[in-house]
Structure 1
Amino acid sequence: MPLFIRRVVAALAAVLLTVTGLTVTAGSASAADPVTSSRTFPNGTITAAFSDTTFRAGDPFTVTVTVTNTGTTTQGVGYSFRGNDFGTPALFTLDSCDLPSSPSGSCDNPAPDLRVRFSSLPAGQSATATFHARVVPDAAPGSYNAFQTGTIGLVTSMTFSPAVTFTVQPPADADLGVTLTATAGPLLSSQINYAATVTNNGPGTAGASTTTVLLPTQTTSVTGLPAGCTYTTGTRTVTCDTGALANGASTTRSFTANFGLLSLGTLSATAARASSTPTDPNPANDTATRNCTVLTSLIITCP
């Protein structure tokens, strides 16, 4: 039994195999169970070991390619792979490539292909290159067939076994939490300084987010709005583009609400996550309210 089949059978708990005739199709693998695909040529072999085949957009992975010249003369050897069919957008991009000091080799990324070539591989020798690749950030979730091409000497083949399938999973949820602080302005100023903070509690990256602050009914104007924030007088709402946030990152938008002569009572403002992508799984922390108190017609206190 060929070596690659013995390895796959040993990992049946993690890899689903469908065997039809001489074709072996590998399902998705975890990072702990890489998929190895190979091709035997009349004068050598090419083997590609994929560190993972299940990703999310933006995820890194490696492909270690080993080429062996079993012929009797020096041969040119090349290998390339892509994650999409011809004429479709690239699924991967190349971060870097590790090459041996000898024999001389080169890597490049003429999208959508990732390629390595050894122009002169001596007879009886092997060489290894490692692609450090990444799924493009806008990759659509779905299943993609790997297209592999190998060349040794004058022989080129696109048939590697087992066939490799890439799976791009939907983005991980991003739990955005909103907090709001309120600080009374200078004495007799009839102002409140607000700061709305959005924090991404993960596990995924938030690709975009919008936050609003609904101000007290007594608000007469807003000043000090940062870039990306607007104020709608009719609804007394400040709307801010809080942008993309990596897991664990925070961003704050600060501004000042102005008031005229006030009646005694409470000034209430509420910040809220208005929208974000991907899905926010926890609405419980999407809003925050702060109350300030009017002590006299010109004095405000915010506990």
Structure 2
Amino acid sequence: MQAWKLLRAALVTVVAGATLIAPATAMAADPPSSAIDVSKTSLNVGEEFTITQTVHNTASFTIVGAKAALFGKTGVSLPGMIELVGCTGAIICFPLDIEFRAALGDLPSGATRTVVFTFKVLDTAPESVTLQHQLLGDEYSFELFEGPTLTFAVAPVNADVSVGLTGSASGPRINYTLTVQNNGPATATGINVAAAYPAGLNYAGTTGCTRVGTTRNLNCAVASLASGASVTKTFSASAGLLTTGSFVATVQRTASSPTDSVAGNDKASKTCSILLGLLVRC
């Protein structure tokens, strides 16, 4: 009987011991101090995209002046390749030297904030950049994390230069106005437009063009023209006594750099009618 009591006591001890060493439920790991999600990583010039950055204060104290920060790996300038269009979830977002930041105010221990940046790709963007991101404070910084790589399509290097021609009568003279416009996207240089006043009329002067010898032809040069800009040049021709008929002046782009991608707007003409060298209509 005594032996049975001893055996039962031993069994109870074993069971109790087994209960004591049962594995505890695993605790959920804290989120990282910074994480980002990019809406799109293959991008074209002018395209907009978003970067969502979530920061978490993993420290045991409040972070004063917390900021979500975005960088380009190897110290490249993010503001030199993407433009900040807007953001939500922050007091203010702004470029700072080679990075972008979102001011969040004080961030208590364990607190989380999410910022959504909206960017637009600039035509100065390189082929690619690897993102880095970090939670910063006024006197404290957390781990720097590496994010995805953004790839940018090479910006087209061309400049569409268009020409237009108008004419107005002033007595027996016709004053022609040539308009040269750069429709972009690149700056155009070394532009030349060949102009010709009508046969049967007499040369009466120019502003901004150069006459070719004693011919009816003129060269109208523009050294450089930014995208979206335009410039005007003028030349004139006059009718002699009894001159009658329909007279056509022409202009045509003959040179520019880089490549002109649209040929359909490279030339223009203007027709004016003259009666007896006195009545001129354009």
TM-score range, shorter chain: 0.5 to 0.7
Q: Does 1:272 align with 2:252?
A: yes
Determine the C-alpha separation between the residues in 2 that align with 1:134 and 1:215: 45
In structure 1, the partner of 2:210 is: 232
Correspondence 1:1-303 to 2 at 5 A: 44-57=32-45, 59-70=47-58, 72-75=60-63, 77-83=66-72, 85-86=74-75, 90-100=80-90, 105-118=91-104, 120-137=106-123, 139=124, 142-151=126-135, 156-161=142-147, 163-171=148-156, 175-183=160-168, 185-187=169-171, 189=172, 191-197=173-179, 205=185, 207-208=187-188, 210=191, 212-216=193-197, 218-222=201-205, 225=207, 230-234=208-212, 235-240=217-222, 243-246=225-228, 253=232, 255-259=234-238, 261=240, 267-275=247-255, 279-293=259-273, 295-296=275-276, 298-299=277-278, 301-302=280-281
SS of the residue aligned with 2:264?
helix
SS at 1:285 equivalent? coil
Do the aligned partners of 2:35 and 2:55 also contact (CA within 8 Å) in 1? Answer: yes
Higher normalized helix content (fraction of residues): 2
For 2:273 and 2:102, the matched residues in 1 are separated by: 69
- CA distance in structure 2 between the aligned counterparts of 1:174 and 1:54, rounded to whole angstroms: 25
Q: Is the 8 A contact 1:93 1:114 kept in 2?
A: no
Is 1:62–1:133's contact at 8 Å kept on the other side of the alignment?
yes
The alpha-carbon deviation at position 214 of structure 1 amounts to 0.6
**1:285 is matched by which residue type in structure 2?**
N
CA shift, 1:60, in A, is: 4.6
Distance 1:212-1:302 versus aligned 2 partners, 3 A rule: farther
Instruction: Quote the sequence identity (%).
Output: 24
Structure 2 distance, partners of 1:277, 1:49, is 41
Instruction: Give 3-state SS (helix, strand or coil) of 2:127's partner.
Output: strand
Deviation at 1:148, TM superposition (A): 0.9
Q: Distance in 2 between matches of 1:84 and 1:274?
A: 45
Contact 2:194–2:254 (CA under 8 A) maintained in structure 1: no
What are the Cα deviations for residues 154-205 of structure 1, in whole angstroms up to 9, with x where unaligned? 66434334x322314313866554332333x233x3x1122335677x7x63
Q: Which runs of 5+ in 1 are unaligned?
A: 1-40
Distance 2:253 2:178 in 1: 10
Query: SS of the counterpart of 1:280?
Result: coil
**Shift of residue 284, structure 1, vs aligned partner:** 3.0
Shift of 1:111: 2.3
Q: Judging changes above 3 Å, is the alpha-carbon distance between structure 1 residues 173 and 53 closer, same or farther for their aligned structure 2 residues?
A: farther
Structure 1, residues 182-240: CA drift from partner, whole Å, max 9, x if none? 33x233x3x1122335677x7x63533746251326553435x4xxxx12123523345
Task: Check whether the contact 1:178–1:197 (CA below 8 A) recurs between aligned residues.
Answer: yes
After TM superposition, the score normalised by the length of structure 1 is: 0.60
TM-score (norm 2): 0.63
Amino acid at match of 1:115: R
Q: Secondary structure at the match of 2:146?
A: coil
Quick one: distance in 2 between partners of 1:155 and 1:167?
30
Distance 1:239 1:173, change over 3 A: closer
Q: Which moved more, 1:124-133 or 1:86-95?
A: 86-95
Q: Determine helix, strand or coil for the equivalent of 2:232.
A: strand
Distance change in 2, residues 1:178/1:169 (3 Å): same
User: Greater CA radius of gyration, 1 or 2?
Assistant: 2
**Counterpart Cα distance in 2 of 1:264 and 1:98:** 70
Deviations 1:121-162 (A, max 9, x none): 12332212233444445x15x42222413136766434334x
Q: Secondary structure at the match of 1:281?
A: coil
